[in-house]
Structure formats: C-alpha cells, structure tokens
Amino acid sequence: MATEVDYAVEHAVREFLTRETPEIGFLGEKEGVSRTGDGLGCSTR
C-alpha cells in the first residue's frame, strides 16, 4: 500500500534527478518511467 508520503518522496527524487541528470531516465516504483533521454538510463524490460 502506497501512502501520500511514498508518492511525495518519489516525486521529489524524480524532479531532482530530472534537473540534475536530464540525459537519463527514471523508473520509479509508484509513477513508472519518465524522460528516457538517450535510452541508456532506464529499461522497461
């Protein structure tokens, strides 16, 4: 069961990583994949 805190933390981490490392993607437990960049940063397999 995910709480509001779970989502808030993942959202904050996602925003930070997007800002600091825009060339890679992020695969989160709660929100899934975002911005895959060159495709080397995350995989959906």
What are the tens digits of pLDDT across the range 5-45? 999 998 898 889 889 988 888 777 777 777 655 544 444 44
pLDDT value of position 27 = 76
What are the residue ranges spanned by the domains of the chain? 1-45
Burial class (CB in 10 A: 0-12, 13-18, 19+), 4: exposed
Q: What letter would DSSP give residue 3?
A: -
Output the six-digit token pair for 15. 């925003």
pLDDT value of position 38 = 53
